Amino acid sequence: MGKVVLVATLDTKGPEVAYLRDRLNSLGIETLVVDSGILGEPVGIVPDVSHAELAGRGGITLAQLQASGTRGRAVETMRRLVQDLVRELYADGQLVGGISVGGVGSVMGAAAIQELPVGVPKIVVAPTASGHHEFGPYVGLKDVFVVHSVVDILGLNPVMTTVLDNVAAAMAGMLAHGHPLTPPPPGRKYVATTMLGNTTKAVGALKDRLAENGFEAVVFHSNGVGGPAMEELVAEGQFVGVVDYTTNEINDPLVGGIHDGGPDRLRVAGRLGLPQVLVPGCVDFSVWAAGSIPEHLRDRPVYDHNPEYTLVRASHEEKALMGRIFAERVNESTGPVHIVMPLGGLSIPATPDGPFWDPEGDQLFLAALRETLRDDIVVETTDHHINDPDLGRLVADRFLTIIRIKEPA
């Protein structure tokens, strides 16, 4: 068995990491301790990979790293160096899991252990891992276990040792009984698709129609993480095709909403040549934490999705821009693509009596899409509403058509 990498800033978290290392060792788990600290020297522990060694891997000295100009710049460099180390060690078969420990330093460690594939055990232990803090930096696009340390990580008191004992036991359990994500077995055909609460009924019908025809839908929640996570697994070869039904993650970056899919959203599967059916589901709104809508958007129609999140309707200018963005990214596709545009509303509140009903704006999206799109890519319009199960079945049928053209007889 390989080792579990422990990443922490050891000038402030040395004794705690030493304790966790010893607990893991007592359970028969080998460890590799990496010091991601920048300023001080390790306290109470000798790392297996020092911060000076990490700096050297980047072709610089520790002193040069410390003199980077700003703390943020130094942290960014160290994060990249420890990410590279973990990625290389895993590729070489030396690692079977990873744990990041610390406060601010845990973000560097979390970025490093996120280099481990889905299914490889990953744990972050941090005092900021509570309901009052965002989990995004700790989790990224991976299956990271986040453990709230309850107390700050400064000393081996009974609370801290209890938490670390349980972290070690959790890692041992995952290594003994879990497994990494494997390539699809022969004969299994997985199709990636996207969904929000606004498209659940339609995607459920889509999933059933695909299953009737020998394809298994794997559904991702398009909340700013789900879409990019899907595309990461697409790049790893998990899927035979994509039905990107809920593509709202291209909207939030335009206004600062929280469902931000990043600059590569809608690009990855197309560049790889996978068959795709694309639907502009939910591009008519951005998503905001309750009470956080910025002043310049407060005069727009809103919809309270639940007590935690509020949806804000997209403007006509944003819809036209999204049509162009959608087309520009899809134009990079090297495989078969079919786009389905429902004209009966792009979200649950987009009905004739709902606050997001906006046929004119939808036509602006469609016009910009067609104007920018390659001539060989088909755009099919339909009068369905986005969450109509019949639309889900129609979209599944379009996918089945293009995948069967691509598949060998």
pLDDT per position as a tens digit, 369-400: 999 999 999 999 999 999 999 999 999 999 99
For the cut 70, the answer to whether the pLDDT of residue 130 exceeds it is no
Both tokens of 268, joined, read 């990855």
Per residue in 206-255, pLDDT tens?
A: 999 999 999 999 999 999 999 999 999 999 999 999 999 999 999 999 99
For the cut 90, the answer to whether the pLDDT of residue 151 exceeds it is no
Report the distance separating Cα 38 and Cα 65, nearest Å: 8
Both tokens of 274, joined, read 């996978």
Confidence band for 54, pLDDT divided at 50, 70 and 90: very high
State the pLDDT at residue 363: 98
Report the distance separating Cα 177 and Cα 194, nearest Å: 30
The residue that leads in pLDDT, 285 or 408, is: 285
Per residue in 168-209, pLDDT tens?
A: 999 999 999 999 999 999 989 999 999 999 999 999 999 999
Report the distance separating Cα 281 and Cα 347, nearest Å: 7
Average pLDDT, the chain: 92
Report the distance separating Cα 242 and Cα 186, nearest Å: 19
Confidence band for 25, pLDDT divided at 50, 70 and 90: very high
CB within 8 Å of 258: residues ≥ 6 apart: 223, 224, 252, 287, 288, 289
State the pLDDT at residue 169: 95
Report the distance separating Cα 56 and Cα 76, nearest Å: 15
Judged by DSSP in three states, 243 sits in strand
Both tokens of 398, joined, read 């379009």
For the cut 70, the answer to whether the pLDDT of residue 407 exceeds it is no
Confidence band for 146, pLDDT divided at 50, 70 and 90: confident
CB 231 within 8 A of CB 224: no
For the cut 70, the answer to whether the pLDDT of residue 409 exceeds it is no
CB 36 within 8 A of CB 9: yes
Predicted TM-score (pTM) of this structure:
0.84
